[in-house]
């Protein structure tokens, strides 16, 4: 035991030297602001893209109208035992109707979804082709599956085409996996092109993680697939309820047979206590109102365009075309220092460091939100311009 502790401590010291050590800090959110050690800062590291988590009036309205039987703080069991409260069915029906799919299935988190869906479908004799920059949860899902898997060059249709052409005849089933908006770079997958490619192969399934687009993009807030007009071509569309929807959990919209298969074979779904009915009820409330929130989506889009245009005028170039804007630094220690400096100026940003991103690509990730006021946006732009 002593040797183990010593080895672990040595590893932690190495992380500190490299600027990659992580620790938990207390912070209290107040609307779009965050209080930390007595300092009030504009929260630009949150995934509360529509500002719903900061909308206390919205939550008060939900509590006022929610049936008492929905406000239960624990399921106390998995959904396959006694935890399948009727509100889960209501939420899944609402999601399926929005997406125009036969069914939907709700999970405890996006990580549960991505680590469970792929192993449930991808077996020996199957192949997974995933974008190089997909989330760690998808990589873990591939590792847990029994399929062969390969990561194609980021957003590179030529590479993906070549892999499909050379492997199509060798596998029973191929699953293409991508995010719609990539969480670290804020750029977007060419969904229309990927769909056109997928249509050429009847045994190819398309899995799209819309975690950072659900609620934010599309006329009804259903994500980039809705915006691109390719929803019917997505076999497994995963969205999270813990980001723009300001709740917790995740879901997949899919065919009924695929859903039934997951209920019977997806380990993170089978072997875990369900979300509290209270959480599912709040998610249902948001999902039902999501199509009406186009004003918030338009406001976020306006802020996003304005910040991108300002950065471009200053010669600050990024791959992002979304509300997630990386500010590249490179060195982890320097990224820490820049984050601390921005916090001193009233902007709460955190550094993203290895292993979340590759060595030498540490950055700050700016998460824009719809509830920013013009003065705050201008203050942010002025500060970033001064750091060019």
Do residues 209 and 134 lie in contact, with contact meaning Cβ atoms separated by under 8 Å? yes
* Catalytic entry in 209, 233, 235, 371: 209
What are the backbone dihedrals phi and psi of residue 187, each rounded to the nearest 5 degrees, phi first?
-90, 175
User: Comparing C-alpha atoms, which of 227, 222, 223 is closest to residue 192?
Assistant: 227
Tell me whether residue 76 is one of the annotated catalytic residues: no
Q: Could you tell me the end-to-end alpha-carbon distance of the chain, in angstroms, rounded to an integer?
A: 49
Tell me whether residue 261 is one of the annotated catalytic residues: no
Tell me whether residue 260 is one of the annotated catalytic residues: no
Rounded alpha-carbon distances, angstroms, from residue 126 to 66, 178, 249, 347: 45, 17, 28, 47
Tell me whether residue 137 is one of the annotated catalytic residues: no
Cβ density class 138-153: b for 16+ within 10 Å, e for less: bbbbbeebebbbebbe
Do residues 134 and 287 lie in contact, with contact meaning Cβ atoms separated by under 8 Å? no
* Catalytic entry in 43, 45, 114, 183: 183
* Catalytic entry in 45, 47, 108, 180: 47
* Catalytic entry in 70, 85, 135, 323: 135
Do residues 271 and 78 lie in contact, with contact meaning Cβ atoms separated by under 8 Å? yes
Tell me whether residue 198 is one of the annotated catalytic residues: no
Tell me whether residue 13 is one of the annotated catalytic residues: no
* Catalytic entry in 179, 210, 226, 235: 179
What are the backbone dihedrals phi and psi of residue 370, each rounded to the nearest 5 degrees, phi first?
-70, -20
Tell me whether residue 233 is one of the annotated catalytic residues: no
* Catalytic entry in 85, 198, 243, 308: 243
* Catalytic entry in 70, 85, 198, 212: 212
Determine if the peptide bond prior to 264 is cis (ω within 30°): no
The residues annotated as belonging to the active site are 47, 135, 179, 183, 209, 212, 243
């Amino acid at each position: 035991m002593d040797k183990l502790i010593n080895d672990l401590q040595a590893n932690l010291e190495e992380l500190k030297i490299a600027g990659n050590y992580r620790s938990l800090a207390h912070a209290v959110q107040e609307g779009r602001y965050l209080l930390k050690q007595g300092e009030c800062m504009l929260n630009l590291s949150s995934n509360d893209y529509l500002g719903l988590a900061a909308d206390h009036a919205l939550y008060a309205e939900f509590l006022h109208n929610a049936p008492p039987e929905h406000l239960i703080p624990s399921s106390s069991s998995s959904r396959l035992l006694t935890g399948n409260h009727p509100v889960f069915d209501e939420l899944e029906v609402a999601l399926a109707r929005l997406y125009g799919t036969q069914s939907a299935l709700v999970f405890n988190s996006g990580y549960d979804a991505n680590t469970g869906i792929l192993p449930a479908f991808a077996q020996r004799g199957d192949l997974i082709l995933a974008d190089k920059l997909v989330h760690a949860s998808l990589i873990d899902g591939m590792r847990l599956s029994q399929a062969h898997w390969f990561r194609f060059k980021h957003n590179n249709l030529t590479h993906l085409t070549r892999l499909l052409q050379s492997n199509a005849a060798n596998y029973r089933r191929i699953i293409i996996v991508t995010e719609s908006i990539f969480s670290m770079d804020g750029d977007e997958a060419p969904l229309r092109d990927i769909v056109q490619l997928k249509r050429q192969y009847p045994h190819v399934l398309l899995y799209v993680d819309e975690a950072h687009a659900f609620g934010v993009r599309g006329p009804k807030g259903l994500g980039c697939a809705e915006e691109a007009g390719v929803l019917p071509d997505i076999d497994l569309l995963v969205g999270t309820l813990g980001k723009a929807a300001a709740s917790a959990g995740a879901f997949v919209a899919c065919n009924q047979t695929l859903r039934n298969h997951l209920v019977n074979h997806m380990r993170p779904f089978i072997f875990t206590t369900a979300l509290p009915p209270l959480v599912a009820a709040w998610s249902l409330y948001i999902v039902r109102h999501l199509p009406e929130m186009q004003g918030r989506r338009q406001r976020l889009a306006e802020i996003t365009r304005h910040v991108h245009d300002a950065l471009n005028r200053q010669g600050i170039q990024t791959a992002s075309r979304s509300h997630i804007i990386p500010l590249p630094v490179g060195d982890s220690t320097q990224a820490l220092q820049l984050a601390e400096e921005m916090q001193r100026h009233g902007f709460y940003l955190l550094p993203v460091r290895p292993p979340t991103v590759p060595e030498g690509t540490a950055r700050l990730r700016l998460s824009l939100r719809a509830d920013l006021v013009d003065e705050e946006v201008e203050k942010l732009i002025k500060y970033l311009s001064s750091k060019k």
